[in-house]
Amino acid sequence: MLQVQLEVGSDPREVSRARRWARSRLAGFGMEPDESMVETLVLLVSELVTNAVVHTGRPAVLRMLLSGCLVAGGGTVRIEVADTSSSPPLRRRAEGDATGGRGLELVVGLADRWGWLHEGAGKRIWCELDRGSGAVAESADARDAGDTGRAAARTAPRGAYDEPRAQPVRT
């Protein structure tokens, strides 16, 4: 397994730096810049880092982990963002022209798996994308049917949390 990491400052302008970094690392993993998976992964990085920086106002750590062989057309890329806020992620449904509330819904819709877990005084939110997966076309009902309350070390299906849902608090 390959792992790369970037410390992200609390300034929202850091999100664009995280996107550039992610593109560069994915190219280093042997992925073509015009590959649709690269665009999806960069969008996932952007959403998770934005959520961490905007909602906590604190620095975060972005990690990308590669398992399998992406060059051979397989493998999985895992994106993790750790921050120092213990507030769980909150899925919201944005209404009409709202300028926020879509980030986590994008992650749920694009990732093959996602979840979160407490880590020290904060949390880590993660998502995974399998190369060649057709999961993006999966229906919302099917992906949200996963159970909740899984152990932190296991992967969760789309829409499931690694820990039982607590009373969500907006950060």
Q: Give the pLDDT confidence score for residue 111 in this predicted structure.
A: 96
Judge contact between 78 and 67, C-beta under 8 A: yes
- Give the start-to-end residue ranges of the domains of the chain: 2-143
Write out the CATH class of domain 2-143: alpha beta
pLDDT tens readout for residues 61-114:
999 999 876 656 678 999 999 999 998 888 777 677 766 667 888 899 999 999
Half-sphere exposure of 57 toward its Cβ, with a 13 Å CA cutoff?
A: 2
Model pTM? Answer: 0.75
With a CB cutoff of 8 Å and minimum separation 6, the contacts of 23 are: 33, 38, 42
Q: Cα(42)–Cα(3) distance, rounded to whole angstroms?
A: 16
Tracing tokens 């694009």 back to the chain, one arrives at: 110
What residue type is 139 in one-letter code?
S
